[in-house]
């Protein structure tokens, strides 16, 4: 088979490409079609582990979720190039799931020529195995300063002769200018691939938009095929992980779930979960399920004042980091180290995940120049030594009892005792008991095997290497006493939403066979 390719382009970043691509994956899968997502290049520190022939690799979290929405097994070919920012002007390059030191050192434009053949091969392989490939672009396809080295937008669209939708965020204003300007900056052969405009995040009466859509069609020949209402509570993780009060307790309204109440044996139910938002935060999408728990307020924290109102029942989470030592230095510069220590000293719950676990210890030791040496926060008597080899794998383990505490103990982490949890690891380094502190009698308590999880003697400070805790139904049941809406519920809600708001017949028409092979009509120019 050779799949029909449908591509979602945007007039800007944040226009709605990711969630619309996810919704289309679920919609076409519900038609009985074999569907795969694709994004040639993603820039994000949110990544997931996927299987490789020789082990495991990583792809962007968004493509991972899109694969699940499509009912497909996540595959490195779905996101062949992943850029993980480490500094403002530097990113780690992951090609086909593996870190490439050669590409990491290369200049941006020179890298494009090097990686395009592998990107095209990955896309062609997915086309050969599926009925539909739903492709997500990046940023805007009309970035004329980048068009000569484009490997993620129109070069991809031309390669597979994709039927393209161009989506814009009408809530920002200037939507019709954005659509027209993007169309106008594209060469004629690329314009020909755009089959419809989509207005996203609209508030109010859609009839008041007239006559603008008709005027735009007269100018461009392209119809506006959907006006999508503003929808903050769809329940899908935002690609950049932005949390605010508009999205607290998000439940897909088209497929609601029952209200939650802490059940017998559940942990201390928090009112606020405060996530420390350091500059190189990573894998923050794993907290989306907490946004879906009614009564829980998920809050970004960047200053001590934002922690001032917390009670011991509230949680502080130190999430993953792409640059642990640098983010730890930032945390100290803000005075957050003292605020976190004060919360822990009052018996408040603190959780460190991956880089957050490393920060909770006594020291970071880096003899290879991977991340940097630094003193830790000293809330757990541990030391982390960074390794050259990056650990990327799925892991299933059973929680031991934190310090022998019973599940009914006030600390929420005691409720995890005996729970089997599945998650994933993406980290450099290994963490172990600090030997000198052990000799002095200051011991951390291992709650997961192989150095994957530790807690303090009081049981209120927990550090784990395992990402994805809050995506595991067993963990949610233990901590909150009930299940939150599942990802499958969210995916179906997204598909319901677009099926309701797209013009009749548009989604089916996008599957119509392309009239010819775009590659033969529009030969690719050299990068």
Give the rounded percent of residues in the chain with a pLDDT score beyond 70. 88
Parent domain of 424: 258-484
Q: Do 47 and 84 meet the contact criterion of CB atoms below 8 Å apart?
A: yes
User: For residue 524, is it within any domain?
Assistant: no
Same domain assignment for residues 264 and 391:
yes
Instruction: List all residues 6 or more positions away from 19 whose beta carbon is below 8 Å from its beta carbon.
Output: 234, 236, 494
User: For residue 250, is it within any domain?
Assistant: no
User: For residue 242, is it within any domain?
Assistant: no
Same domain assignment for residues 479 and 495:
no
Same domain assignment for residues 152 and 297:
no
Domains of the chain: total: 2
The pLDDT value given to residue 160: 97
Reported pTM: 0.78
User: For residue 405, is it within any domain?
Assistant: yes
Q: Do 114 and 106 meet the contact criterion of CB atoms below 8 Å apart?
A: yes
pLDDT digits (tens, 9 = 90+) for 368-396: 888 889 999 999 999 999 988 888 888 99
Residue 259 has pLDDT above 60, yes or no: no
Same domain assignment for residues 404 and 468:
yes
User: For residue 494, is it within any domain?
Assistant: yes
In order, the DSSP letters of 68-129 are HHHT----GGGS-EEEEEEETTEEEEEETTEE-HHHHHS-HHHHHHHHHHHHHHHHHHHHHH
pLDDT digits (tens, 9 = 90+) for 323-344: 899 999 999 999 999 999 999 9
Same domain assignment for residues 428 and 325:
yes
Instruction: Find where tokens 């506006």 sit.
Output: 224
Band (pLDDT 50/70/90 cuts) for residue 7 is very high
Same domain assignment for residues 377 and 480:
yes
User: For residue 507, is it within any domain?
Assistant: yes
What element of type H or E holds 219? helix 212-220
Instruction: Find where tokens 């994709």 sit.
Output: 162
User: For residue 241, is it within any domain?
Assistant: no
- In whole angstroms, give the CA distance from residue 173 to residue 179: 11
| CATH number, domain with residue 296 | 3.40.50.880
The single residue of 5, 354, 403, 455 carrying the catalytic annotation is: 354
pLDDT, the chain, mean: 87
Q: Could you tell me the two tokens for 313?
A: 């029942």
Question: CA angle at residue 77 from 387 to 521, to 5 degrees?
Answer: 140
The pLDDT value given to residue 107: 77
Helices (H), 468-514: 473-480, 487-501, 506-509
- In whole angstroms, give the CA distance from residue 226 to residue 288: 27
Same domain assignment for residues 190 and 329:
no
Same domain assignment for residues 210 and 158:
yes
- In whole angstroms, give the CA distance from residue 455 to residue 79: 36
Residue 233 has pLDDT above 80, yes or no: no
Question: CA angle at residue 316 from 313 to 321, to 5 degrees?
Answer: 165
User: Is it true that the peptide bond before 313 is cis, omega within 30 degrees of 0?
Assistant: no
Band (pLDDT 50/70/90 cuts) for residue 354 is very high
The single residue of 343, 434, 467, 501 carrying the catalytic annotation is: 467
Band (pLDDT 50/70/90 cuts) for residue 1 is low
Same domain assignment for residues 147 and 272:
no
3 state DSSP class of 426: strand
Same domain assignment for residues 475 and 503:
no
Same domain assignment for residues 162 and 295:
no
| CATH number, domain with residue 18 | 3.40.50.300
Where is average pLDDT lowest: 266-270, 304-308, 433-437?
266-270
User: For residue 525, is it within any domain?
Assistant: no
Look up 467 and say whether it is catalytic.
Answer: yes
Instruction: Find where tokens 């900056």 sit.
Output: 185
Residue 509 has pLDDT above 70, yes or no: yes
Same domain assignment for residues 458 and 495:
no
Best-predicted range by mean pLDDT among 76-85, 155-164, 236-245, 463-472? Answer: 155-164
């Amino acid at each position: 088979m050779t799949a029909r390719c449908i591509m979602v382009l945007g007039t800007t970043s944040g226009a709605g490409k990711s969630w619309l691509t996810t919704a289309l994956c679920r919609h076409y899968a519900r038609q009985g079609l074999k569907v795969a997502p694709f994004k040639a290049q993603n820039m994000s520190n949110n990544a997931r582990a996927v299987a490789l022939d020789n082990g495991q690799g990583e792809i962007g979290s968004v493509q991972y979720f899109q694969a699940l929405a499509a009912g497909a097994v996540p595959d490195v070919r779905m996101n062949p190039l992943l850029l993980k920012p480490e500094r403002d002007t530097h990113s780690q390059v992951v090609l086909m799931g593996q870190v490439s030191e050669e590409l990491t050192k290369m200049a941006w434009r020179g890298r494009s020529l090097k990686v395009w053949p592998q990107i095209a091969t990955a896309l062609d392989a997915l086309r050969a195995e599926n009925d539909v490939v739903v492709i997500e672009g990046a940023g805007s396809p009309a970035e004329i300063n980048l068009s000569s080295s484009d490997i993620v937008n129109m070069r991809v669209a031309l390669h597979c002769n994709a039927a393209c939708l161009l989506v814009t965020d009408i809530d920002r204003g200037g939507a019709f200018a954005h659509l027209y300007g993007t169309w106008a900056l594209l060469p004629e052969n690329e314009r020909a691939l755009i089959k419809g405009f989509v207005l996203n995040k609209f508030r109010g009466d859609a009839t008041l938009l007239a006559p603008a859509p008709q005027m735009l069609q007269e100018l461009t020949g392209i119809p506006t095929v959907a006006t999508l209402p503003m929808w903050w509570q769809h329940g899908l993780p935002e690609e950049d992980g932005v949390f605010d009060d508009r999205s607290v307790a998000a439940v897909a309204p088209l497929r609601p779930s029952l209200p939650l109440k802490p059940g017998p044996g559940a942990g201390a139910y928090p009112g606020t979960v405060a996530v420390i938002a350091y500059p190189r935060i990573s894998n923050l999408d794993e907290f989306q399920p907490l946004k879906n728990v009614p009564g829980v307020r998920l809050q970004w924290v960047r200053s001590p004042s934002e922690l001032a109102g917390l009670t011991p029942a509230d949680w502080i989470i130190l999430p993953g980091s792409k640059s642990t030592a640098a983010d730890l230095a930032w945390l100290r510069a803000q005075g957050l180290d003292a605020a976190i220590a004060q919360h822990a000293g009052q018996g408040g719950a603190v959780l460190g995940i991956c880089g957050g676990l490393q920060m909770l210890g006594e020291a970071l030791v880096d003899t290879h120049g991977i991340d940097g040496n630094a003193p830790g926060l000293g809330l757990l008597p541990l030391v982390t030594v960074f390794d050259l080899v990056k650990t990327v794998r799925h892991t299933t383990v059973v929680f031991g009892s934190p310090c022998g505490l019973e599940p009914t103990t006030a600390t929420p982490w005691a409720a995890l005792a005996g729970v089997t949890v599945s998650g994933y690891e993406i980290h450099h380094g290994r963490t172990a008991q600090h030997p000198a502190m052990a000799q002095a009698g200051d011991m951390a308590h291992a709650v997961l095997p192989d150095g994957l999880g530790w807690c303090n003697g009081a049981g209120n400070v927990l550090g784990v290497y395992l990402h994805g805790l809050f995506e595991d139904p067993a963990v949610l049941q233990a901590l909150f006493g009930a299940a939150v809406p599942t990802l499958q519920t969210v995916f179906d809600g997204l598909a319901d939403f677009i099926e309701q708001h797209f013009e009749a017949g548009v989604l089916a028409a996008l599957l119509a066979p392309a009239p010819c092979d775009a590659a033969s009509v529009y030969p690719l120019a050299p990068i």
